[in-house]
């Protein structure tokens, strides 16, 4: 998966706790995307970030979810007060520039969140 | 982005060619056709993409119909490691749309 590193791979949280998912993009990539995948479904876009900026968060739930991509360090997807419906696989992807049809996008191996 | 239609699942024997179809009857002239695959418990992996001409790379070939309303991903000699869900996705050249619209894909089952 071309170097996008996600951790943790698996995370279990009780309802009401916080989940924090990390993503280190491919070296040199400044564009990061987060997707969510429910069982037996395709990926759903959540948010697109560049360094220190949120470009598009139209796919993010309005409450409890936030994302950041600081100047230094990995991108973080934060889910506060988790509920059972948040249980899903969360994938991070990166690209060297804005994703247009000629560019490929590289995915990490995902973080599987289970809320009990 | 225009929508795509793929069969839910397909089976193939190991070491035989596999043809995975995708219909995209509402494709526009500036839509690229991308294929990704997702192995179990893994993130999606880029396979191939094209606009009008057939494309080949080390993983697969992409055959695009002359009217571009359909395409076929060809795995020339399937192995057990090719068992995955294959997604056909359209992305507009003129639109910086990174919001890939993922369908349910085709689950490819390889029989030894």
Per-residue model confidence (pLDDT) at position A106: 87
Q: Which residue of A has its CA nearest to B87?
A: A42
Cα-to-chain-centroid distance, residue A32: 8
Alpha carbon distance B101, B98 (integer Å): 9
Which among A1, A109, A93 has a CA at the least distance from the CA of B43?
A109
**Residues 6+ away with beta carbon under 8 Å from B9:** B106, B107, B108, B109
pLDDT in tens, B44-64: 998 999 999 999 999 999 999
Helix (H, G, I), strand (E, B) or coil at B25: coil
Residue B101, pLDDT above cutoff 90? no
Q: Residue B103 is nearest to which of A42, A58, A108, comparing CB atoms?
A: A42
Q: Which of A42, A101, A107 faces B93 most closely, judged by CB atoms?
A: A101
Contact B81, B89 (CB under 8 A): no
Instruction: Please tell me the predicted confidence (pLDDT) of residue B95.
Output: 59
Note whether B24 and B3 are within 8 A (CB): yes
Q: Nearest-CA distance from B112 to chain A in Å?
A: 24
Residue pLDDT, tens place only, B70-91: 999 999 999 999 999 999 998 8
pLDDT band at A39; cut points 50, 70, 90? confident
> If you average pLDDT over residues A48-70, what whole number do you get?
93
Q: B43 and A4 in contact by Cβ < 8 A?
A: yes
Q: Which residues of B touch A33 (CB under 8 A)?
A: 98
Give contacts of A42 with chain B, Cβ < 8 Å. 87, 102-105
Mean pLDDT on A86-111: 83
Q: Does A33 touch chain B (CB under 8 A)?
A: yes
- A-B CB pairs within 8 A amount to 67
DSSP string, A6-63: EE-SEEEE-TT--EEEEEEPSTT--EEEEEEE-TTS-EEEEEEEETTEEEE-TTS-SS
Edge-to-edge strand ranges of the sheet holding B31-38: B9-13, B106-111, B84-92, B31-38, B44-50
Radius of gyration of chain B from its Cα atoms, rounded to whole angstroms:
13
């Amino acid at each position: 998966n071309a170097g996008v590193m996600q951790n943790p791979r698996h995370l279990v949280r009780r309802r009401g706790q916080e989940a924090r998912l990390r993503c280190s993009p491919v070296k040199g990539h400044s564009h990061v995307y987060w997707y969510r995948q429910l069982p037996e479904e395709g990926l759903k876009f959540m948010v697109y970030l560049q360094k220190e900026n949120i470009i598009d968060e139209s796919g993010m739930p309005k409450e409890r979810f936030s994302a950041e991509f600081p100047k230094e360090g990995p991108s973080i997807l934060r889910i506060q007060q988790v509920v059972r419906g948040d249980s899903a696989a969360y994938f991070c992807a990166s690209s060297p520039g804005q994703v247009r049809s000629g560019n490929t996008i590289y995915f990490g191996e995902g973080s599987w969140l289970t809320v009990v | 982005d225009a929508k795509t239609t793929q069969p839910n699942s397909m089976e193939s024997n190991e070491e035989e060619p596999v043809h995975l179809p995708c219909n995209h009857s509402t494709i526009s002239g500036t839509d690229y056709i991308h294929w990704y695959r997702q192995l179990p418990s893994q993130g999606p992996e880029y396979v191939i993409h094209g606009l009008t001409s057939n494309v080949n790379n080390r993983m697969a070939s992409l055959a695009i119909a002359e009217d571009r309303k359909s395409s076929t991903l060809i795995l020339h000699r399937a192995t057990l490691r090719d068992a995955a869900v294959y997604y056909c996705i359209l992305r507009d050249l003129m639109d910086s749309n990174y919001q890939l619209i993922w369908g349910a894909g085709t689950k490819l089952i390889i029989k030894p």
